[in-house]
A and B are shown apart, each in its own frame.
Chain A
Amino acid sequence: MKRQPALNWLIPLIAVITIIIASTGLFSQGGSGPFPFTTVYGDTVEIYGKGIYRHDSTFVAALFRGTDAITLFISIPLLLISYLFYRRGSLRGSLFMIGMILYFLYVGVSYTFSTIFNSMFLFYTALFSASLFATMIAFTSFDTELLISKVTSGMPRRGMAIFLIVAGLGTLMLWISELIGPMMTGTAPANLGPYTTMFTHGFDSAVITPATVVTGILLLQRKPLGYLLAPPLLILCTLIGVVVISQTISQALEGIVFPIGVYIGMVGSWVVMGAFAIGLTIRYFRNISETVQ
C-alpha cells in the first residue's frame, strides 16, 4: 500500500473523536430517567431519559451503549495496532487497518443518523466524514495487481464469496421481512419508536448488501478487486457479530429481554455469521505472503 500522508492525521483524529464519543455514551449521567412518550403514530415508547442518549428510546440507547463498549475497548486498540503495522510497511497490517477504518465508518454513520440529535452531533459528523475520506484514500492507494501476486494457494476464495453473498442477502431478507408486514397494513414498524424512519434497515440494504454481494461475485470471477474488498468486509462482519452480543447484554441490563426464540434466531444468526467471518478472516490473512514494501 502506498504511504498516504493524509492517513497520518486522519487515523489519530478518528481515534480521538471516537474515544470522546464512546466514553460520553458509556459514562455520561444526568437526566430524570425513563419516561413514556406517545409517538406521532399513537404508539407508546419508553424514552431513556439519562446521559447523552436521553432523548433516544431505551431500546436504541441500550444498543448504542453496547456499541460504545466494543468500540472503546476493542475497536480503537485494533485500529491503532493495525495503523502501527501499516506504518512499518506490513501488507497484512494495511489490509487489517482498512477493515478497521470501514468499521469506524459504519459506526460513524450510525451515530450520525440513528441517534436522536444530541450535543455530540458535530463529533458524530466529524467521525463520519474523517472515516469516509480515510476509507476512500486507503482503498485507492492499494495496488490490487500487487496484492494478487501475494495470494497463496490455500486462499478460501469460494468460501469467502459464498459467505459474503449469503451474509449480504440474509441481512437484506431479515430487514425486509420486518418491513413487509407494516407496509401492507400501512402501519409503523414495531421498532420505529420516536424515530423519523428505519435508518439501519435502509443503510444496510442500500450500501452493505450490494457491497458484500458484488465482492462475492468479483471473487467468484477471480477479479483482483474482490481480494482487496473481501478482508475489510469480513472484519466488519466479525466486529458487528461482537457488537450484537454486546448490544444484547446491554439491552438485558436495561431490562429489555426477548423470548428465547428471538435470541436463537436473531442474535444467534449474527453470532454464527461473526464466527464464520472470523474463521475466513484468519484463513485469508494466513494466505497472504508478507513482504516489506
Chain B
Amino acid sequence: MKNQSALKWLIPSIGILALFAILMGLFYETPGEPYPITSFRGEQVMINGHGLYYYDTVSTVAQMQGNDIIALFVGLPLLVISTFLAGVYPARRGGSLRGRLLLTGTMGFFLYTYMSMSMLTAYNMLFLVYVALFTMSLYAFILCMLSFDLEDLPRHFSDKLPRRWIAGVLFAIGGFLSLAWIGRVVPELLHPEIPAALENTTTRVIHSMDLALIVPLAVLAGILLLRKSAWGYLLASVAILKGLTMALAVSTMAINMALQGVPDSLAIMVPFLVLTALTMVVAVMLLRNIKEQTHY
C-alpha cells in the first residue's frame, strides 16, 4: 500500500489511544450522581455528575458510551483486520483492495468519532487525547484516500456491481439526514422564544457535520457512481464502509438512550435502524463485487 511509512506508525497509535479513550469513557468512575441545571437558554438539563463524562448531560453520555461500545467491539477489530488485509502490517507489497477500502472506511469512522468528541464532549481531562485522535485519523484518512490509483480503480469492480442500489442507499442516507436535521433546526429558528433543545452544548455539532460533510459526500458519491466515474467508485465504497460502522454506532446510541430513560423520537430512531440494515446489505454486495486479481 502507498504511504505505508506514515500509516505504519499512525494506525497503531490511533488504535492504542482510541482503546485508552474508550476504556476511560466506559469504566473511569468518580462518586456522584446526576443533578439538574438550567442552561442560560432556560432549558432544564440533567448533568451526568460522575465519571469521565462528568459535565455532559445524561443523554449525551448515553450516546457517547453507545459509540464507545461500538468502537470497542466493531471499530477497533475492523481497524486491526483491515490493517492486516491492506498489507500495512505485516508490511508487504500488494495487500487486497477490499482491505484498503475497508481500512479507509474504518479510518473515516474514527475521524468522524474523534472530530465530534473534540468538539462536542464537555471539556474533560482527555481533551488532548481526543484532539490527537482527531488529527491522526484525519491525516491517516487523507493518506488512505490518496493511496488509490484512481484511473485503475473502476476495472476492479465486476459488471454485476449493483450501482443503482448502492447509489439509492447513498441518496437515502443523504435525504434522510437532510430532512431529519433541517426539520429539527428550522422550527427552533422560527420560534426563538422556546429554548432550543441543545442540552448544555455550544451548538449542534453533529447536525452541522452531517449536513456539511456527510450529506454532500453521500449525494456526490451516488451521482458519480451512477456516471461510472472513478471518483464515484472510491467515494461510494468509502461512504458505505464508513456508514456501516457509523450506522451500527447510531443504533447502539439510540438503544442505550432508551435504556437510560432518555429515548430519542421514534421518527429518528426507526429510519436510522432501517438505514443501518440497508447499509449492511449494500456493504456486503459491494465487497462481493470486487475483483482482486491485480496487485500493486
Q: How would you classify the secondary structure of chain A's contact residues: helix, strand, loop or mixed?
A: helix
B120 — which chain A residues lie within 8 A by C-beta? 196-197
Interface segment among B61-69, B209-217, B259-267: the answer is: B209-217
Is A124's CB within 8 Å of the partner chain B? yes
| B119 & A113 in contact (Cβ 8 Å cutoff) | yes
Is B171's CB within 8 Å of the partner chain A? no
Query: How many residues of chain A get a CB closer than 8 Å to chain B's CBs?
Result: 43
A132-B185 CB under 8 A given contacts A113-B119, A197-B127: no
CA of A186 to CA of B126 in the docked complex: distance in angstroms? 11
A199 — which chain B residues lie within 8 A by C-beta? 119, 202
CA of A265 to CA of B85 in the docked complex: distance in angstroms? 50
CA of A122 to CA of B211 in the docked complex: distance in angstroms? 9
Chain A minimum-CB-distance residue to B123: A197
Distance (whole angstroms) from the CB of B189 to the closest CB of chain A: 5
A196-B119 CB under 8 A given contacts A113-B203, A113-B205: yes
CA of A256 to CA of B192 in the docked complex: distance in angstroms? 29
A22-45 CB mask vs B (1 if < 8 Å, else 0) is: 000000000000000100110000
| A183 & B134 in contact (Cβ 8 Å cutoff) | no
Interface residues of A in 117-158 (CB under 8 A from B): 117, 119, 121-122, 124-126, 128-129, 132-133
A196-B121 CB under 8 A given contacts A125-B211, A207-B138: yes
CA of A201 to CA of B198 in the docked complex: distance in angstroms? 22
A121-B125 CB under 8 A given contacts A40-B47, A206-B131, A206-B135: no
8 contacts between A and B (CB under 8 A): A47-B40, A121-B189, A124-B208, A186-B125, A198-B127, A202-B134, A206-B132, A206-B135
Instruction: Spell out A's residues near B (CB within 8 Å).
Output: 37, 40-41, 47, 55, 112-117, 119, 121-122, 124-126, 128-129, 132-133, 176, 179, 183, 186, 188-189, 192, 194-199, 201-203, 205-207, 209-210, 214
Top 10 closest pairs, chain A to chain B, by CB: A129-B212, A206-B135, A117-B203, A197-B123, A206-B134, A202-B118, A196-B202, A128-B212, A202-B131, A125-B208
